[in-house]
Chains A and B, each alone.
Chain A
Amino acid sequence: MSGNAREQKADHIRHLLETEGDAVEANTLGFNDGRYESVADLEDYEGLKSEARAIKEDAIERLPALIDELTETVEANGGTVYIADDAADANRYIREVASEKEAERLVKSKSMTSEELEVNEALEADGVDVVETDLGEWVLQVADEAPSHIVAPAIHKSREEIARLFNEQFDPDEPLETAEELTMFARDRLGELIREADVGMTGANFITADSGSLMLVTSEGNARKSAVVPDTHVAVAGVEKIVPSVEDLAPFIELIGRSGTGQDITSYISLLTPPVDSPVVDIDDPDVAFADRDDDRDFHLVLIDNGRMAMREDDQLKETLYCIRCSACANTCGNFQSVGGHAFGGETYTGGIATGWEAGVHGQDSAAEFNDLCTGCSRCVEACPVEIDIPWINTVVRDRINRDGDAGRFEFVYDELVPDEEATGSIGLQKRLFGNYETLAKLGSATAPLSNWTAGLEPVRSLLERTAGIDRRRALPAFERETLVDWFEARGPRVSAADAEREAVLYPDTYTNYIDVDRGKAAVRVLEAMDVHVRIPAVSESGRAPLSQGMIATADAKASRVYAALAEHLDAGRDIVVIEPSDLAMFHREYEKLLPEASFERLRAGSYEVIEYVYGCLENGANGARLRTGDGGPAIAYHSHCQQRTMGVDRYTRAVFEALNYDVLESDVECCGMAGSFGYKQEYYELSMDVGDRLAEQFSAPEAKNRLVVASGTSCEDQLEDLLERDASHPVEVLDPRSRLR
């Protein structure tokens, strides 16, 4: 990305933060809180997700056969099935149906697939009056705007804006003001339009091959009206919506509302087997009883391929087809909560999973527009009801985008600094610098303190901003001359292997080794206080840095190096202890994609987050009194790390603080917004700060403002220091027997 493009992107994001940010934030936070509350009521949430996942895996596996079965079923029921290769094909068919019906008006319920087709525009070109009947969609139709969210399309608009829009457009007798007034106005107006409609169009959340039924998840009742009032029903749905049988619907009914808007269930789950038995509501025959009618209803199911069958053949994008479009990945995402789908979205789809959809149906260019907004924080992973590894899909698409296009322009000048494995493509300098952070850190440490002085100079910051897009408003980390590995080699272990309860290898992540060496030293002292014999071998960076830039080949090479360096220790029964959660997440999650299964499993089983390890030691009889306890220690405001939470190991920090009598207040935001390199990037600096503001607010509240700020991640510490202008420390520095933190 050029400096100019970065500035444009920053401008666009700033504009959205100002105009739509507040409404998006209020709504997505509401949905997200609702999700936590609602899924907590389920007896076996994890089991239900796995069941849903298995149904989708099976359905996509045998999709061609299911399409055939469904086609037969729908035709036997008296409907018609059309399988459209792409959007143009689908639109041509739908226009033909409208034309045969001599349709003047078509009423629609909400359907993202119809947005993907842009079927409204196609029909309007033929003179058909297309009316969106979902209230949110109708607001957007009146305002001529695009959806900003796949479930609640108009969340970027406040009530006041909608009132202004309606009052200007429709000039009602009494100006509309309250949500109630706006809703009743829309209900009446749309009711009139539906009464006289010739064709009703719906999407489908699921379609059952055994019965030919559509399942529609709605709350307003407009889909029910759209399907039942006119005599002709056109349903558009991606081929991936098919499940084998009616019975397969149960887990999805229980999960979709909870995962999306945080409702246990929406008002209406329509299970329609069209053409339906319900009589037509014909205003031209107002006095004929429904029971006396003999309607011949027309039903067309338009199944859309538009890239989906190719996605099915693509090992990496295939998982996208399991998506049930609940919007959990959008609502749970720190960046989405701040900026919404008008930045975090492509031509049609929005949120984390949109990268997969856009790459599959519209092409990589559309995905490239917003793919960077996924920071890999992984909070969506546990929220996804079909267990899709959404960050991985984003990483894969980023890697593909990197490899496309022209050759890297900076390669020649910067090769020494950025020796990555990605041979071809057009990875910008910004991505290559962050991706090769270990090399930079090594050099910075070797030349410290000179490197730190130089890096702080205005001309250098200006150059870095211009060439690499590193925002000059961010303080750059200062490198230590003596690395943790060097320090420990000179110092040696204080608990001999012979006297030790356990042996541990403390993994020297790049940040701890070169920059925050103190937290490494604190970790050593804490482990030794637990009678652990510590070793700190020189081990390569985990691959997290290149992976976050979409440089999978570099990450893969690093994973192999890390495993080679640790394998012997694992064989010797030594525990691998990791301070930085994002590196542990590599060992526990991403290495599954990068290492042979047995290697991955062995490292995963043998590696621990440092406080998790302390917890284990305490549980096994270690003396907690040797650590600094809450009795002499400070009151704490603690922010756990996003990936640490997804791995479920944040609970150990909570437990250890509690066991040692600390007074802890914990944040409940999904992510600090820094996300490694993300917050340093010029185009995302303001977004990163906006996400961080939610955390800063919690830690600036009266009950938190005098507490010691503690965070488990490097990025979180940096972000909190920038936001609060208070020092932030790692939990292990609090527990350090020598700690004087207050």
Chain B
Amino acid sequence: MSAETGAIRRRFEASLADLDVPVTSTTPAAFESTLETIASDPTVGTTLPFEGVSLPEWVDDEPTPATLERATTSVTAASLGIADYGSVVLPSTPDGSEQVSLFPDLHVPVLREADLVADMPTAIERLGPHLRDGESAIVATGPSATADMGALVKGAHGPKDVHVLVLESEGDDE
């Protein structure tokens, strides 16, 4: 891990701490056991496009409107993390990552450490070609929230909690 990556990682974690969003590190080998400690049943998810990582058996990876409605946890991929803000970029996919990341009470975005960037301009620069290619994405920062009812409440229309999982590549954990 380079010094710069380390600084970005620390900044990302500090931003998440400001948001009261927990973050846990894992590796592809430990992914399933780590996820198990975070997720609650029933869990739904969409494909994780990361080498050596796939959704465990106990995660419904072919959600339907009915199973999505019942799920309490969701697991989807984040394509970028933005250190300055503690944001994760959630690409919309044909298998339904957008709604899967939105409906259940707990969302677990899975982010590769290598996909962390320092700031917003860098993230948007990376997103540019994807949007021009017709893709969509959400820059998500913490859980859904509203202050419209007289005080800040988490979980307005979307998740009440977010727990970020950072994937370190094997042999990278010092």
Contacts and interface: CB of A to CB of B under 8 A. Distances in A.
A265 B141 contact: yes
A168 B99 CA distance: 33
B93 interface: yes
Contacts of A266: 141
A36 interface: no
Interface in B112-147: 120-121, 123-125, 127-128, 131-132, 134-147
Interface stretch (A285-293, A566-574, A594-602, A733-741): A285-293
A159 B148 CA distance: 9
B166 interface: no
A135 interface: yes
B62 interface: yes
A277 B135 contact: yes
A135 B92 contact: no
Contacts of B64: 285-290
Contact of B149 (A135, A251, A265, A287): A135
Interface stretch (B1-9, B32-40, B51-59, B153-161): B153-161
A51 to B, nearest CB: 10
B78 interface: no
Interface string A209-228: 01101000001111011001
A680 to B, nearest CB: 37
A271 B131 contact: yes
A134 B136 CA distance: 22
Nearest to A270: B138
A281 interface: yes
Contacts of B151: 159, 178-180
A179 B157 contact: no
A396 interface: no
B146 A219 contact: yes
B131 A211 contact: yes
Interface in A346-391: none
Interface centre among B94, B123, B127, B131 (most CB of A within 10 A): B131
Contacts of B63: 289-290
Contacts of A183: 146, 148-149, 153, 155-156
B27 interface: no
B156 A250 contact: no
A139 interface: yes
Interface string A257-282: 00001001111111111101111011
A83 interface: no
A511 B125 CA distance: 55
Given A285-B65, A289-B64, A267 B141 contact: yes
B99 A213 contact: no
A245 B128 contact: yes
Contacts of B85: 264-265
A276 B150 contact: no
Contact of A278 (B92, B134, B150): B92
A273 B134 contact: yes
A32 interface: no
Interface residues of B toward A: which range? Answer: 35 or more
Interface stretch (A186-194, A459-467, A470-478, A494-502): A186-194
Interface in A149-189: 152, 154, 158-160, 162, 178-180, 182-184, 186-187
Contact of A179 (B97, B100, B138, B153): B153
B26 interface: no
A390 B83 CA distance: 34
Contacts of B68: 281, 290
Contact of B138 (A77, A158, A249, A271): A271
Contact of A291 (B94, B131, B132, B153): B94
Contacts of B87: 265, 269
A610 interface: no
B148 A247 contact: no
Interface in B74-115: 85, 87, 92-100, 102
A133 B102 CA distance: 15
Contacts of A669: none
A267 B143 contact: yes
A210 to B, nearest CB: 6
Contact of B128 (A178, A247, A261, A277): A247
A265 B142 CA distance: 10
A219 B152 CA distance: 11
Contacts of A213: 131, 136
B152 to A, nearest CB: 8
Contact of A221 (B97, B150, B158): B158
A136 B128 contact: no
Contacts of B99: 225, 228-229, 278-279, 281, 290
A246 B123 CA distance: 11
A166 to B, nearest CB: 9
Contacts of B131: 208, 211, 213, 246, 271, 273
Contact of A271 (B127, B142, B150, B159): B127
Contacts of A249: 124
A222 B93 contact: no
Contacts of B145: 219-220, 267
B77 to A, nearest CB: 14
A139 B138 contact: no
A24 to B, nearest CB: 13
A273 B97 CA distance: 15
A253 interface: yes
Given A135-B156, A264-B85, A278-B94, A152 B147 contact: yes
A224 B158 contact: yes
B150 A187 contact: no
A279 B94 contact: yes
Contacts of B121: 247, 250-251
Contact of B62 (A224, A254, A272, A289): A289
A186 B153 CA distance: 12
B54 to A, nearest CB: 15
Contacts of B100: 290
A283 interface: yes
A613 to B, nearest CB: 41
Contacts of B65: 281-283, 285-288, 290
B138 A273 contact: no
A62 to B, nearest CB: 19
B135 A221 contact: no
A286 B102 CA distance: 17
A268 B140 contact: yes
Contacts of A290: 62-65, 68, 95-96, 99-100
Interface centre among B102, B124, B149, B156 (most CB of A within 10 A): B149
Interface of A: 77, 133-136, 139, 152, 154, 158-160, 162, 178-180, 182-184, 186-187, 190-191, 208, 210-211, 213, 219-222, 224-225, 228-229, 245-247, 249-251, 253-254, 261, 264-274, 276-279, 281-283, 285-292
Interface of B: 62-66, 68-69, 85, 87, 92-100, 102, 120-121, 123-125, 127-128, 131-132, 134-153, 155-159
23 contacts: A133-B157, A159-B150, A179-B150, A180-B153, A183-B156, A208-B131, A219-B144, A219-B145, A220-B148, A220-B157, A221-B158, A222-B157, A225-B157, A247-B124, A247-B125, A249-B124, A267-B143, A276-B98, A277-B93, A285-B65, A286-B69, A291-B94, A292-B62
Given A220-B144, A249-B124, 7 more contacts: A162-B149, A180-B153, A224-B98, A247-B121, A250-B121, A276-B98, A278-B98
Counting from the closest, the 3 A-B pairs by CB-CB distance are A159-B150, A221-B158, A290-B96
